[in-house]
Amino acid sequence: MKITFPHMGTTLIFAKLFELFDHEIIMPPRPSKKTIDLGVKHSPEFACFPFKVIMGSYLEAIEAGADTIVTSGGHGPCRAGYYGELHKKILDDFGHQVNFIIFNAPQDNWSKFMENLKKIKAKKSWFNFWRNLKIIYKLAKAIDNVEKIVEQKRAYSPNGEVDLIWKKAKEEFNKINTIDEIEFVETKVKADLDSLSIHLPADKDRIKIGIIGEIYVVMEESINNYIEEKLNSFGVEVERSHYLSDWIDDTFLPFFGESTKIKAKGQQYIKIGIGGHAQESVGRIVDYKDRGFHGVIHLKPFGCLPELVSQSMLDKIAKDLNIPILSISIDEQIAEANILTRVEAFLDMVRQQKSLEERKIKHG
Amino acid sequence: MGNIYLGVDIGSVSINIVAIDEENRILFKLYTRNSGQPVELVKDGIQQLRIKLNNKIKIDGVGVTGSGRQLVGYILGADIVKNEITAHAMATTYFYPETGTIFEIGGQDSKLIIVKDGIATDFAMNTVCAAGTGSFLDHQAERLGIPIEEFGDLALQAKRDVRIAGRCTVFAESDMISKQQYGFTKSEIIKGLCRALVRNYMNNLVRNRNLQGKYIFQGGVAANLGIKAAFAEEVGEKIIIPEHYNVMGAIGIAQLAKAEIKKTGKNTSFKGFNITKDSFETTSFNCEGCANSCEVIKVQANGQTIAMTGDRCGKWSDQINHKKREQQETGS
Amino acid sequence: MGKLKLGIPRALLYYFYYPFWEKLFSELDIELIVSNYTSREQLDKGIKYSISEICVPIKVYIGHVLDLINQGVDYVYIPRIISIKKNIFLCPKFLGLPDMIKNSIPEIENKILTHQITAKDDSLAGFKNYLGMADKLNISKWKLFWALQKANSHWQEHRKTQLQVNIDKKVLTIALIGYVYNIYDRFINMDLLRHLREMGINIVTFEMVDSQIIEQEVKLFPKPMFWEFTNKLLGAGYHFLKSPDIDGIIYVSAFGCGPDSILGSFLEIDANQANKPFMTLRIDEQTGESHLLTRIEAFVDLLKLKKS
């Protein structure tokens, strides 16, 4: 069994998971122009963009020898929950013989879920199984903890010192096998970041931007044109609404994670969960405002069903909360220059408004 | 002669260069079509500037804007490289402090900027589709066999209204042909196209925003009276077209360059008029240093590398920046 | 005090549930005002108040809501229909419909009459769903109960009559797969039904297929769709694929419809394998009528050739 999986965010966590169970892995290449072209060509025109990119990733991985694809399903009503089935149908139609292991929520079909689990568990004991899952969970947490510091400090590190540490950190995390090792790497990386001579400016001189929206385009930097790095390079701190460890919390411990709290904050705008992360997206804006952020960037794939609903109300929310919001739709046709121009102009606007408000406060 | 600041706007359709003085007076203004060789056009433009001002000038600051701003910024040694939305807002609010709304339509981009008390408070830009931009009109003018310059005046001669689908260039074309077959005149069709463009602009960029006056319309397409009339009809108010409507981005970036120089107190990093004699070459390669395989763009002047960009890790661009810093420190 | 004037937008599920709503609200002594037929002007207004990327049916809906506000109704009825089958939902845009309207059109909040509907089947008559609304309108529970009973039996009768179809096998029969609001809105589909009828063609749609047949077909599918009306189209679609009485299938899909992009792909692949002529008609706010006519004529010619 040669396993591959969709490329989303810090893929080393998924790779580690299969590695711990002694599976052979075909690493999905980081989505490139070629991946997108391939995916677009083999996908229905009106499928959403992540569907097309993932299709491209699968085709590249199959070419590299993958015969088994592991992915998640869902019970909607967002289209993403159906990706697996449709990818399979189209790949079959093209004559590619690959197995799909699609993880749907356990409560939907318990026996199917267990069957899938056993395929992953392979020859390991159940004891090892739980141990490995715990390692993965801790790893995801540790990486996200580090990344959150990076997203802040990188704004004040124009010469790339922070990026260098971050890159090395990912390599180090890739080598771990035990929880102790994870803790060691995390502590060391944090110390490295602390030792840099980066002084966070006084609170009033810091600009913080939150990134919200559809999970795939928010997490996969090669698809969102490395928007976090770009924002950082303009001297702005960033935080996003999705991190892998939060996603794990949400999926397996839905009532204990932070998302319940965030959703509640968005309830005045979207009453009920409507699929995807629309309610969280809206709740996050409120949350960012509460936490003193200066602007919000909303990312979504072109035509994304749930995020279109949240996008419909952004004008009103921006006005209600007095926080600038920029919405960007991403698909194969969007030009990088267009995104960059809008992001830059947005930051100019955020800065001007911030200083205007400060002047107002000063002069009463 | 007093201080002079240069503003360069590298758009996908046109390249504009202006020179302003300390009082923001326009000393030089050039609007040329971008034939696909921006560097040559910029060199040529700078040569023209030098002749116009009798060689006797020293440039005190340079700003570059527009979608091709990065590359030209390296070549000229710009003091400031900024997006065109900020540049447009800057120039317009200077000329018209009471501006409320800026409609800017260029060749491949269209923008809306909302201004309050001289500060941009909101903006929108077309994303993927050309249907609300100048190239839409160019395309249809070609189709009808009418020079684009006559387009706007013809629209004003129309006697009847006809609705033309304008969401997408292709649909507009087939709709236009079928309306022609119904016997609508060319000028009526053109008026329909102008209104289709403005309708598109309204639907995609303005949406349900509450627009306020004054209304300023600029960008290359602002020369088109048909579009101006369609905008006036849409907002029900007078539309102002600035004297320098087609180079507002360049003026704005020149003003921003001036502000930057004043703020930092540094000397300009402008490379000098000699660049018109230099030969520039842009090449790209895929860095295989890691899995990212970034496409790195390398700009060379007379065989010497002056800029590298596109690498995410800084492996290449840092070398150049490092060299530059050293040169600055040693004062050379 | 005069009767309460309640506006119903002539859009989206109006084309499926109007008989039910008409009976229900007349039993509740509420005057119903249905918005005008979709028009250019209405659609333009709808476009203005919606984001450009959203599907045409939603833009049309917003246009109708504005039309009703203009007519001075007391409320516009915008129910949040979440589910009409266990664990199967409607598209996210339906789930968020009242939220979207409330936050897209300024100062409309107090003009919206909304409540949630979760039902086990097509009938919307579940008593509990309406309690909040009845409170708001000062309607007694008894009155509500009986009105729902009557509306329900009226609805069941109406569904039965829809199922009685006679197929004339001598002429061409085309199955139209598409949501009710795309099939029956004459403006938005440029009078597709009339054009087909003028060509002497029998038309069948999903409402004419017994829901048991639909459910059987859905069960055969590896994973049912998440969206109820998409499932109905899926079941009917696969039934039509197998049915020898159907000469061809036209999938009428609105520009930007997400669920269609999934179902359409499945049907297209399988229609191809079943050798059943299949065409997708994409309707848009701007498509020209001549374009549409050319395509359906060519498709019909192809079917005729195949049948003879």
Q: Does C286 touch chain B (CB under 8 A)?
A: yes
Tell me the percentage of chain A whose pLDDT exceeds 90.
Answer: 66
Kindly determine whether residue A275 and residue C95, on different chains, have CB atoms separated by under 8 Å.
yes
pLDDT in tens, C95-138: 999 999 999 998 899 999 999 999 988 899 999 999 999 999 99
Length reported for chain C = 308
What average pLDDT does the structure give for chain B? Answer: 86
Report which of B206, B241, B6, B10 is spatially closest to residue B107, judged by C-alpha positions.
Answer: B10
Closest Cα of chain B to A323: distance in Å? Answer: 11
Instruction: Enumerate neighbours of C (3 or more CB pairs within 8 A).
Output: A, B
Task: Please check the confidence at residue B331 and state whether its pLDDT lies above 50.
Answer: no
Least trusted range by pLDDT, from A164-173, B88-97, B291-300, C264-273: B291-300
Q: Does C53 touch chain B (CB under 8 A)?
A: no
Tell me the percentage of chain A whose pLDDT exceeds 70.
Answer: 99
3-state percent breakdown (helix, strand, coil) of chain A, nearest 5: 60, 10, 30
Interface B:C, Cβ pairs < 8 A: 37
Q: Which two tokens stand for residue B1?
A: 């002669």
Give B-chain residues touching C292 at CB under 8 angstroms: none
Task: Please check the confidence at residue B187 and state whether its pLDDT lies above 60.
Answer: yes
CA C287, CA A199: separation in Å to the nearest integer? 58
Kindly determine whether residue A79 and residue C99, on different chains, have CB atoms separated by under 8 Å.
no
Q: Does B289 touch chain A (CB under 8 A)?
A: no
**3-class DSSP state of C67:** helix
Kindly determine whether residue C106 and residue B208, on different chains, have CB atoms separated by under 8 Å.
yes
Q: Alpha carbon of C42 to those of B175, B197, C60, C75: distances in Å?
A: 21, 19, 7, 19
User: Residue A26: how many CB atoms within 10 A of its CB?
Assistant: 21
Q: For residue A72, give every residue at least 6 positions away whose Cβ sits within 8 Å of its Cβ, in sequence order, or none.
A: A84, A102, A103, A104
Q: Please give the average per-residue pLDDT across B40-50, as a whole number.
A: 91
Kindly determine whether residue A333 and residue B312, on different chains, have CB atoms separated by under 8 Å.
no
CA torsion through residues A181, A182, A183, A189, sign: positive
Kindly determine whether residue A77 and residue C90, on different chains, have CB atoms separated by under 8 Å.
yes
What is the structure's pLDDT at A151?
A: 96
Give B-chain residues touching C49 at CB under 8 angstroms: 207-208
Closest Cα of chain C to A363: distance in Å? Answer: 33
CATH superfamily of B97-241: ATPase, nucleotide binding domain (3.30.420.40)
How buried is residue A168: exposed, middle or buried, by Cβ count under 10 Å (0-12/13-18/19+)?
middle
Q: Which two tokens stand for residue B124?
A: 């929108």
What is the structure's pLDDT at A105?
A: 77
Question: What is the pTM for the complete model shown?
Answer: 0.88
Kindly determine whether residue B171 and residue C48, on different chains, have CB atoms separated by under 8 Å.
no
Q: Beta partners for C263?
A: none
CA A136, CA A34: separation in Å to the nearest integer? 31
Closest Cα of chain A to B207: distance in Å? Answer: 10
DSSP labels for C164-196?
Answer: -----TTS-EEEEES-HHHHS-TTTTTSHHHHH
Q: How confident is the model at residue B231 (pLDDT cuts 50, 70, 90)?
A: very high
Give A-chain residues touching C50 at CB under 8 angstroms: 312
Q: CA C45 from chain center: how many Å?
A: 21
Q: CA C298 from chain center: how many Å?
A: 27
Task: Please check the confidence at residue C286 and state whether its pLDDT lies above 70.
Answer: no
CA A314, CA A327: separation in Å to the nearest integer? 8
CA C263, CA C210: separation in Å to the nearest integer? 20
What is the structure's pLDDT at A275?
A: 85
* 15-44 of B, contacting A, C-beta below 8 A: none
Kindly determine whether residue C261 and residue A45, on different chains, have CB atoms separated by under 8 Å.
yes
Which of C48, C105, C291 lies closest to B203 in CB terms? C48
How buried is residue A352: exposed, middle or buried, by Cβ count under 10 Å (0-12/13-18/19+)?
middle
CA B50, CA B299: separation in Å to the nearest integer? 25
Task: Please check the confidence at residue B324 and state whether its pLDDT lies above 70.
Answer: no
Using an 8 Å Cβ cutoff, are C205 and C183 in contact? yes
What is the structure's pLDDT at C130?
A: 95
Identify the residue whose tokens are 């602390």: A194
Report which of B193, B195, B135, B131 is spatially closest to residue B168, judged by C-alpha positions.
Answer: B131
Report which of A28, A22, A26 is spatially closest to residue A121, judged by C-alpha positions.
Answer: A22
Q: For residue A140, give every residue at least 6 positions away whose Cβ sits within 8 Å of its Cβ, in sequence order, or none.
A: A10, A13, A244, A245, A248
Highest mean pLDDT, choosing among A74-83, A296-305, B113-122: A296-305
Which of B171, B199, B202 lies closest to C288 in CB terms? B171
Give A-chain residues touching C280 at CB under 8 angstroms: none
Using an 8 Å Cβ cutoff, are B14 and B32 in contact? yes
Q: Decide yes or no: CATH 3.30.420.40 for domain B1-96+242-276.
A: yes
Q: How confident is the model at residue B44 (pLDDT cuts 50, 70, 90)?
A: very high
What is the structure's pLDDT at B311?
A: 76
Q: Does C87 touch chain B (CB under 8 A)?
A: no
Kindly determine whether residue C286 and residue B174, on different chains, have CB atoms separated by under 8 Å.
no
What is the structure's pLDDT at B205?
A: 85
Q: Please give the average per-residue pLDDT across B15-22, as a whole number.
A: 94
Element (H, E) at A99: strand A99-103
What is the structure's pLDDT at B329?
A: 56
User: Residue C200: how many CB atoms within 10 A of its CB?
Assistant: 11
Beta strand pairing call for B14-21 and B26-33: antiparallel
Give A-chain residues touching C51 at CB under 8 angstroms: 308, 311-312
Angle between helix A278-290 and A259-266 (nearest 10) = 90
Give A-chain residues touching C56 at CB under 8 angstroms: none
Q: Which two tokens stand for residue B66?
A: 């527009």
Task: Please check the confidence at residue C46 and state whether its pLDDT lies above 50.
Answer: yes
**3-class DSSP state of B120:** strand
How buried is residue C128: exposed, middle or buried, by Cβ count under 10 Å (0-12/13-18/19+)?
exposed
Instruction: Identify the DSSP state of B202.
Output: I
Q: Which two tokens stand for residue A69?
A: 């694809």
CA torsion through residues A133, A135, A141, A143, sign: negative
Q: How confident is the model at residue B325 (pLDDT cuts 50, 70, 90)?
A: low
Kindly determine whether residue B314 and residue A159, on different chains, have CB atoms separated by under 8 Å.
yes
Report which of C276, C267, C280 is spatially closest to residue C235, judged by C-alpha positions.
Answer: C267
Closest Cα of chain C to B208: distance in Å? Answer: 5
How buried is residue C222: exposed, middle or buried, by Cβ count under 10 Å (0-12/13-18/19+)?
exposed
Which of B121, B127, B313 lies closest to A163 in CB terms? B313
Task: Please check the confidence at residue C196 and state whether its pLDDT lies above 90.
Answer: yes
Q: Does B291 touch chain A (CB under 8 A)?
A: yes
What is the structure's pLDDT at B332?
A: 41
Least trusted range by pLDDT, from A216-220, B313-317, C17-21, C277-281: B313-317
Kindly determine whether residue B203 and residue C40, on different chains, have CB atoms separated by under 8 Å.
no
φ, ψ of residue C281 in degrees (nearest 5)? -105, 120
Q: Alpha carbon of C190 to those of A53, C199, C284: distances in Å?
A: 35, 15, 10
Using an 8 Å Cβ cutoff, are C154 and C148 in contact? no
pLDDT in tens, C130-175: 999 999 999 999 999 999 999 999 999 999 988 877 777 788 999 9
Element (H, E) at A301: strand A295-301
* 30-59 of B, contacting C, C-beta below 8 A: none
pLDDT in tens, A120-141: 988 899 999 999 999 999 999 9
Kindly determine whether residue B165 and residue C288, on different chains, have CB atoms separated by under 8 Å.
yes
Whether the link from the prior residue into A306 is cis, omega within 30° of 0, is: no
Instruction: Enumerate neighbours of A (3 or more CB pairs within 8 A).
Output: B, C
Element (H, E) at A22: none
* Per-domain boundaries in chain B: 1-96+242-276, 97-241, 278-332
DSSP labels for B21-33?
Answer: ETT--EEEEEEEE
What is the structure's pLDDT at B326?
A: 66
Using an 8 Å Cβ cutoff, are A74 and A80 in contact? yes
Which of A90, A278, A308 lies closest to C51 in CB terms? A308
Kindly provide the ipTM of the predicted complex, given to two decimals: 0.87
Q: How confident is the model at residue B124 (pLDDT cuts 50, 70, 90)?
A: confident
Kindly determine whether residue C269 and residue A316, on different chains, have CB atoms separated by under 8 Å.
no
What is the structure's pLDDT at B284?
A: 85
| Alpha-carbon Rg for chain A in angstroms | 21
Q: Which two tokens stand for residue A10?
A: 């810090």
Q: Would you say the CATH fold of B97-241 matches that of B1-96+242-276?
A: yes
Whether the link from the prior residue into B43 is cis, omega within 30° of 0, is: no
Using an 8 Å Cβ cutoff, are A227 and A297 in contact? yes
